[in-house]
Structure 1
């Protein structure tokens, strides 16, 4: 290098943090939380391990930052999907496609690793649970919107909260089973996922058909007469 060559500029802190987060994500997705080593993450990121302590403080804060970075993008993706035009059967199909993407990217494994580690790590659990609840909140809002649009007649107590709980807890259980059982579990899950898609399609069809609209109108009128 000649004396006239400019000195290389130091790498911005944001780039360093991004590289650390990406390296930690790769480690969580391939080796798991138990194998997470600050030194190995630093080596993968090409930084001094002291920089991890500087930016994140502890290993648990680092993994929560990893989850936050992924969650921020994925929750926004879900919100955009539910706010977009189209029926809920179409959005259910899109959610399934997102699920396959998240399996391939390693996000499902990362989330499962933190879920498991939270069982015995109180500090991590206190940070992890609000992130999971944020996703459940997105599911609840989508269910409320679906019920508002289609107003199906449901058994007492089978409200938006109950339906959203069934969906979100089923989804989490499905993710864990898929991680462990692979394609064998996928084959078992697909008929149930297909059935929900057909149910949503039927619900939308009945709500938009002349007979469905007339029936709904008659039901509401009957209810109004009974209240008089």
Structure 2
């Protein structure tokens, strides 16, 4: 495979990310993506099969990178509250990069497309596994909550918070960010008591 051919899927994914962020999933077309990537439309169908395959590949590409980042961060030798605080900082990066928008668009698409729903749920499970591993170190001090339950509560809080932030109302966004960061105090209290 030539260097140019090897880079084509990444070039298409980057163009798809830009188009998705600009117009959302409903208005996304493979033709617009091909134009933005500077490739023939046939390349999208060759590499991804169509719009759905393209967007799912984009989500998988971004998700893999970010889950790896989270695993490295939670594996650090630091108190859990400090690692959770870093996760809150990462949320800002993920919103700015467009990942959160792509994920939320795919969640919405999954409401009417079971194939999309299955892939999105599989990707979300990778985040759940990272959170469970992180929480398991403090499970004995979480009272009646298992690591699985605590991780699910945190994960769902982030997902819901991200959706509210994307709605664009600054007062809601502030409330979400404040609420998510308030868990730092709770985790620190649990760890230090």
In which range does the TM-score fall when normalised by the shorter chain? over 0.9
Unpaired runs of at least 5, structure 2: none
Counterpart residue number, 2:8:
16
Contact 1:70 1:107 in 2 (8 A): yes
Q: Which of 72, 97, 105 lines up with 2:97 in the alignment?
A: 105
Cα distance in 2, alignment partners of residues 123 and 195 from structure 1: 36
Instruction: Please report how far the alpha carbon of residue 182 of structure 1 lies from its aligned counterpart in structure 2 after TM superposition.
Output: 3.6
Contact 2:158 2:180 in 1 (8 A): no
- From the superposition, tell whether residues 45 and 141 of structure 1 become closer, same or farther in structure 2 (CA, over 3 Å): same
C-alpha distance after superposition, 1:106-159 (max 9, x if no partner): 110000000001101122222222111111111111111232xxx31613xx21
Contact 1:27 1:41 in 2 (8 A): yes
1:44 matched to 2:16:
no
Alignment of 1:1-228 (within 5 A): 12-147=4-139, 151-152=140-141, 154-155=143-144, 158-206=145-193
Instruction: Please report how far the alpha carbon of residue 11 of structure 1 lies from its aligned counterpart in structure 2 after TM superposition.
Output: 5.2
Larger radius of gyration: 1
Cα distance in 1, alignment partners of residues 23 and 49 from structure 2: 22
After the TM superposition, list the runs of 4 or more consecutive aligned residues in structure 1 that deviate by more than 4 angstroms. none
Cα distance in 1, alignment partners of residues 7 and 137 from structure 2: 40
Pick which of 162-171 and 45-54 moved more. 162-171
Q: Root-mean-square deviation (CA), in Å?
A: 1.5
Contact 1:29 1:107 in 2 (8 A): no
- From the superposition, tell whether residues 194 and 124 of structure 1 become closer, same or farther in structure 2 (CA, over 3 Å): closer
- From the superposition, tell whether residues 161 and 36 of structure 1 become closer, same or farther in structure 2 (CA, over 3 Å): same
Cα distance in 2, alignment partners of residues 153 and 34 from structure 1: 42
